[in-house]
Structure 1
Amino acid sequence: MSIPAALTYVYAVTQPTGSLQQALPTLHGIGGTPLRLLSPTAGTASDATGVALAFVVGDVPERDFNETALKNHFEELEWLEYVARTHHDVVQAVAAHAPVIPLRMATVYQDDHRAGQALTTQRHAFAQRIDQLRARTEYGIKIYLTPSAAPDADPPDADGPGQPTSPGKAYLRARRVQHHTREAVYQQAQHAARTIESIAARHTTQRVRHAPQRGALTGTQENVLNDAYLIPDDQADQFRTAIADAARDFPDLRIEVTGPWAPYSFATPPPDPHGPPGPHHGTDARQPPP
């Protein structure tokens, strides 16, 4: 019986540590396959700064991860959810033991040699970024508008005391009250956002602003802010406490802190118009790395 062809799936870039080496045999990737550390192919495990780097990789079936198969699978929500969840679990597990740069889901190469070439080509950029991420963790801040409550008291009748209000006027009056209530809550959300930025500025200078979430992810609440911050580990408790204290000043909002996460939002540094391009986070499985 022939052995199915396999591709090399790369989950993350890391700096190997004793703790990671010890934990790696207990970790598994997509399809339950074991994980391994892959060093650069040039024979040097570190760049000029002495930072040792490795890809965290595992084997995946070529029939499921070639270019054509991936295009089809990305339409299958159950498959996509499984791969995304497994990818995330691997990255989080590695982050518990070593600095990590999460790579894009479905980053695959033809084999270990091609993957090693990619790491060799990009190791300087990866080394710089992993040094910037060391001892730092991502936290998310989300602001939600809670469902608007009814006003405490009805506004005066437009037609005078004791005069019945027509359905049309009653509707318009209710819409005006609702509009003013919503405007007040939006202004409160803007104030909350400025307060959060001020708190975060005491702990970090790195923020990524994501688009607000919509649909099933938010339910009946409207998400109006969805930011990520890179926080030094020794300041994480202070940061979370300060956000929780500030949230009590905004009773009409739900302010949520998520994390700790591996630094997904900060895997690629902000573009520098005067510098070289940042790390490339993936390649067609059939092609050599750039």
Structure 2
Amino acid sequence: MRFLIMNGAGNRFAVFDAQDTPGFTLGTEKVKAICQPGSPVMGERGADQLVILRQPKSPDADIFMEIWNREGFEVDACGNATRTTAWLYMRDNDVDACIVQTNDTLLHCRLAGDMKVAVDMGPPKLDWTQIPLKEAMHTHHIDVKLGPIDNPVLSNPGAVSMGNPHCVFFVEDFTTVKPERAGPMIEFHPLFPEQANVGFAKVEARDRIRLKVWERGVGMTLACGTGACAAVVAAVRQKRTDRKVDVEVDGGLLQIEWRDADDHVIMTGPVELESEGVV
């Protein structure tokens, strides 16, 4: 079986190509063992997610992407993994566009330059039932705070689903707020029955955001594609930015556009193939 190590803006993946091996499975404990930092498979950095490529379930798709996080449970979306999967399919089949299927949706992808892919992530899900939240509320600002009640360190985040739940806080800097400390507390907040990815966004201009993300089941990562999309959607809804924004993450730069015409979010960013072999 073909095995690859890939990353999207630093978000690192162990990729098993099971398109010709339909019975291939790993399970929670094997996924955790492969992804953990220092594993013999992934080395010191480990993997943020594990991806299994399969034949598509829909006749409209070209390839199916199964996604597992470092904690060993399956998730429905990963923007950076979508770019790497799409790039791999397009390279292998000598095409410049494809459709990647996930458990959540079909994602239209195209080449956008050398080692760069654009993905139509579809419209964001903004109703409280779609994210989901435990209680009914408007999701422009949700009632989640961290710190003293009368003077919270974090408050008024936006909630967005890009196929997975996101809670996005807007911060002035990353010294007062420590994402690696705040992230796990918000991830398991009782308002999020499926846990949450937690974004910490610093708006530097109407067209630029600096972003750090605590991913549920993973921890701090160098990049989070769905997190970048969610941050821009939340920023636009709170009138902090325009609809086309460069999002700087620790691993690189992502271009996010929330189109007004059709409500779709377009994510464009880099892909890197670290190694390719057979297991």
After TM superposition, the score normalised by the length of structure 1 is 0.27
User: Would you tell me which structure has more helix in proportion to its own residues?
Assistant: 1
User: Would you tell me which structure has more strand in proportion to its own residues?
Assistant: 2
After TM superposition, the score normalised by the length of structure 2 is 0.28
